[in-house]
């Protein structure tokens, strides 16, 4: 029997509906107490001094780049195996993204390769905790210290992940979470900037609100700013979600475990790698195929059987805009390209049932036999 198994689904319960409804009934829809409450809660959860809520992970990345004073003539070392926003935020400020290839197991930026790309123009390392697996932050932090570089930690996919006991989002000079509906926690659209620096947080608070400083009059703008504010409904949703974050992460862990078990006997398929000392926070569940298997054909076939799936990620350097602007082409980052050509994200959300997983795996096995 054909089933419909979506790629992702937000987990919205009664608590979420009540929290949003309460804001709506209060009629205080923006710049109110709920955003501040959400910021306090998430700062406490991660164990950092400051959290600044914004309207997307991308706007947060942009403000982090600006707050650190990066600009034209500067370089930032980052990964081509990520969602495009983690490199675009550099381009917004004319910072040169310097891509380096990834580790074939963790799929995160390879610190050894970062090391050789550091020049006198390098100001920042921008690692991404891909799929919720923390990057090698010890090595990266050492490199940053030795060379006087900032770290912007793109933790948009990794809320709740731990690296040798440290929370994702607590290790960079600035860090980001994003709350789009497919992330572990959602606010609809939204994100948060995390930092231990009161000064950087203050700059971000000002820039998200049209460049107003805390003491400014309404039409007084101390610096260039944006409207990157999070609204109160989104923050209410975020508070409700955060209050059951442990339960949410445990559900995702359980789904990943079921997949791991069901897929372990399947020839030609490798389940996600988790490095020693790492506690994964499951954003998506991404398998890798043996190169002999035609991934695109498998994807098409199982999609036809009602199974939501997607090729995570298309390398950033091969995006048309990056090819045109920087002259990148195939072969520039071989590990990234090989991984990108053989990965597939399977349906993954908090309420995926054993039955649905069974349906996915059974069909996958059948299709692989033919591709
Ligand atoms: C989701 C995500 C972002 C930010 O996304 P928004 O849609 O702007 O909230 C940034 N970087 C990575 C790696 C992401 O996965």
Q: Domains plus CATH for the chain?
A: 14-242 (3.40.640.10), 245-370 (3.90.1150.10)
Q: Is the pLDDT of residue 198 over 80?
A: yes
CA–CA separation, 146 and 345 (whole Å): 37
pLDDT of residue 331: 98
pLDDT of residue 61: 98
Cα of 289 vs centre of ligand 1, distance in Å, is 25
pLDDT of residue 120: 98
Q: What sign does the CA torsion over 346, 347, 350, 355 have?
A: negative
Burial of 81 (0-12, 13-18, 19+ CB in 10 A): buried
User: Could you tell me if the CB of 209 is within 6 A of ligand 1?
Assistant: no
Q: How far apart are the first and last CA of the chain?
A: 22
Mean pLDDT of the chain: 97
DSSP 154-191: E-TT-TT-EETTEETTSSSSEEEEE--TTSSS--SS-E
CA–CA separation, 133 and 235 (whole Å): 26
- Minimum CA distance residue for ligand 1 atom 5: 57
Q: What is the mean pLDDT of residues 257-271?
A: 96
User: Could you tell me if the CB of 180 is within 6 A of ligand 1?
Assistant: yes
* Pairing assessment for the beta strands 285-289 and 343-346 based on DSSP bridges: antiparallel
User: Could you tell me if the CB of 56 is within 6 A of ligand 1?
Assistant: yes
pLDDT band at residue 146 under the 50/70/90 scheme: very high
* Pairing assessment for the beta strands 50-54 and 191-195 based on DSSP bridges: antiparallel
pLDDT in tens, 314-342: 999 999 999 999 999 999 999 999 999 99
CA–CA separation, 110 and 95 (whole Å): 21
User: Could you tell me if the CB of 86 is within 6 A of ligand 1?
Assistant: yes
Q: Which two tokens stand for residue 85?
A: 């926003």
Q: Is the pLDDT of residue 218 over 90?
A: no
Query: Which atom of ligand 1 is nearest the CA belonging to 190?
Result: 9
């Amino acid at each position: 029997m054909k089933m419909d198994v979506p790629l992702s689904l937000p987990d919205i319960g009664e608590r979420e509906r009540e929290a949003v409804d309460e804001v709506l009934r209060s009629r205080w829809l923006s710049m109110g107490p709920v955003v501040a409450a959400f910021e306090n809660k998430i700062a406490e959860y991660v164990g950092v001094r400051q959290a600044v809520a914004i309207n997307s992970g991308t706007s947060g990345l942009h403000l982090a780049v600006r707050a650190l004073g990066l600009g034209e003539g500067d370089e930032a070392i980052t990964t081509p195996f990520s969602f495009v926003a983690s490199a675009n935020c550099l381009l917004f400020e004319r910072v040169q993204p310097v891509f380096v290839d990834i580790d074939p197991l963790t799929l995160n930026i390879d610190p050894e390769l970062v090391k050789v790309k550091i020049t006198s123009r390098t100001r920042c390392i921008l690692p991404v905790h891909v799929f919720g697996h923390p990057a090698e932050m010890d090595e990266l932090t050492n490199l940053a210290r030795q060379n006087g570089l900032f770290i912007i930690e793109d933790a948009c996919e990794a809320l709740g992940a731990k690296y040798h006991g440290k929370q994702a989002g607590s290790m960079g000079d600035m860090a980001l979470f994003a709350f789009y509906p497919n992330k572990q926690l959602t606010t609809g659209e939204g994100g948060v900037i995390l930092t231990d620096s009161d000064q950087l947080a203050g700059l971000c608070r000002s820039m998200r609100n049209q460049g107003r400083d805390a003491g400014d009059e309404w039409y007084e703008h101390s610096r260039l700013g944006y409207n990157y504010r999070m609204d109160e409904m989104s923050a209410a949703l975020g508070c409700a979600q955060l209050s059951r974050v442990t339960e949410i992460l445990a559900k995702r862990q359980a789904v990943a475990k079921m997949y791991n078990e069901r897929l372990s006997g399947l020839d030609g398929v490798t389940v996600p790698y988790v490095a020693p000392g790492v506690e994964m926070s499951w954003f998506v569940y991404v398998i890798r195929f043996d190169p002999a298997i035609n991934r695109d054909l498998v994807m098409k076939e199982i999609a036809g059987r009602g199974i939501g799936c997607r090729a995570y990620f298309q390398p950033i350097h091969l995006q048309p805009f990056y090819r045109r602007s920087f002259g990148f082409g195939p072969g520039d980052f071989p590990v990234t390209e090989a991984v990108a050509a053989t990965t597939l994200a399977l349906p993954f959300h908090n309420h995926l049932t054993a039955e649905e997983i069974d349906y996915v795996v059974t069909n996958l096995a059948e299709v692989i036999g033919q591709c």
